Structure 1
Amino acid sequence: MRARPLPFTVLALAGALFLTACGGDGDGGGGSDGGAGGAGDGKASGAGAACVLAEVKVETGPAAEAPADGDTGNVPVTVTNEGEECVLDGFPAVRLKGGDTSLTVPADEAAAAQELTLPKDVAATFTLTYVRGAGLDADNLLIGLPGDDGTTSLAWSYGPVALVDGEPDASVSAFQQAGD
């Protein structure tokens, strides 16, 4: 069983709210894939610089933890810009790590990345959806940003992640502007 993405109506509503909130100003930035797994395409246009981990705060939660094997959980991740205006263009690069094993979490196939410009003190979020089960006893979540080669490591306390064909039964959504 693959991790179920958010229902289409929720994604459509979020997309509509995003377009309304962003106003389509077209600022962009350049860069390459994030180093945590290369999930983002790293392509951006315009004059804005890519967001870098050295100038953002990354936090998880509050999560809707999967309570038992076979259940689906959701872990929201918030990226708050603490530096100059920057751009997120692509998907977050996410890996789950347990012991010596580190596995890439793929982007949700139903999601489309959109370029987001983050002024100072503005946040964006994405959600990691996973299925709990025997497979990877993850203890760390590695996160990279599109256009930045670095990664940051956060503790994973949401239980073991099921594997399907050796890959995590999980996915990450695209970045969305936080708040209104």
Structure 2
Amino acid sequence: MRATPIAVPATLAALLLLAACDSAGGDEDGDGKREGAACSVHEVSIEVGPASIAPAAGDTGEVPVSLTNRGAACTLDGFPEVTLVGAGDSPAVDVPPAEGAEAQKLTLAKGGSASFTVAYERGTPRGGAFDAENLRVRLPGDADRTRSRLFRWSYGPVAGGGQGDHEVSVSAYQRAGD
């Protein structure tokens, strides 16, 4: 009876295991981006509207924002980071999450879509309203905090809510499409 040395199969198994891993430990998908990393505004197309515009002071409007991932799978974890930007040196207004809204973690495959909504009450310039000119969108977890997209705000002034607050909020992300 002939015995096969155990060192040969063990060496082959070790070589196969090493060959199966890439230099980054198998966590990358070939484009240098880690699977499940935060979505970046440079990898996602963003579209604003069409909106349900508040026609007069005291009315509410909704502005839908949709995102489609153009890159490797990425994650939206938290609320959309939305800011209303005024003219010139006027202060910006950070848009808070809607009351009772709960953030959820969504993973978007390449071509996957999500959306959120900016809800607002239209105000009057003399009533403490904020006269926004642009809507700035950032994605949560984007490593570069300077990355954002700017869209024209053409939906009228946003009502003031007292104590420097404004009547505007953002919903949580929702999966779109399917």
- Does TM, scored on the shorter chain, surpass 0.5? yes
In 1, are the aligned partners of 2:51 and 2:62 still within 8 Å (CA)?
Answer: yes
**Aligned position for 2:64:** 76
- The AA in structure 1 aligned to 2:115 is T
Q: What is the alpha-carbon distance in structure 1 between the residues aligned to residue 44 and residue 37 of structure 2? A: 13
Equivalence map 1:95-106=2 (5 Å): 95-99=83-87, 100-106=90-96
- The AA in structure 2 aligned to 1:164 is G
**Aligned position for 2:172:** 174
- Is 1:125 aligned to 2:115, yes or no? yes
**Aligned position for 2:49:** 61
**Aligned position for 1:162:** 159
Q: What is the alpha-carbon distance in structure 1 between the residues aligned to residue 58 and residue 99 of structure 2? A: 20
Structure 1 stretches of 4+ with a deviation exceeding 4 A read: none
- The AA in structure 2 aligned to 1:93 is E
- Is 1:146 aligned to 2:144, yes or no? no
SS at 2:85 equivalent: strand
- The AA in structure 2 aligned to 1:108 is A
**Aligned position for 1:114:** 104
CA drift at 1:58: 1.0
Q: What is the alpha-carbon distance in structure 2 between the residues aligned to residue 168 and residue 82 of structure 1? A: 34
SS at 2:42 equivalent: helix
Task: Write out per-residue CA displacement over residues 118-172 of structure 1, whole angstroms, 9 at most, x where no aligned residue.
Answer: 0111110000000000211111001111101222111111111111122221110
In 1, are the aligned partners of 2:84 and 2:92 still within 8 Å (CA)?
Answer: yes
Q: What is the alpha-carbon distance in structure 2 between the residues aligned to residue 77 and residue 95 of structure 1? A: 13
CA drift at 1:47: 5.4
CA drift at 1:108: 0.8
Task: Write out per-residue CA displacement over residues 59-111 of structure 1, whole angstroms, 9 at most, x where no aligned residue.
Answer: 11111000000000000001111111100000001111111221111001211
Q: What is the alpha-carbon distance in structure 1 between the residues aligned to residue 165 and residue 148 of structure 2? A: 20
Q: What is the alpha-carbon distance in structure 1 between the residues aligned to residue 44 and residue 76 of structure 2? A: 11
- After TM superposition, the score normalised by the length of structure 1 is 0.72
Q: What is the alpha-carbon distance in structure 1 between the residues aligned to residue 172 and residue 83 of structure 2? A: 15
Q: Root-mean-square deviation (CA), in Å?
A: 1.3
Q: Which has the larger radius of gyration?
A: 2
SS at 2:51 equivalent: coil
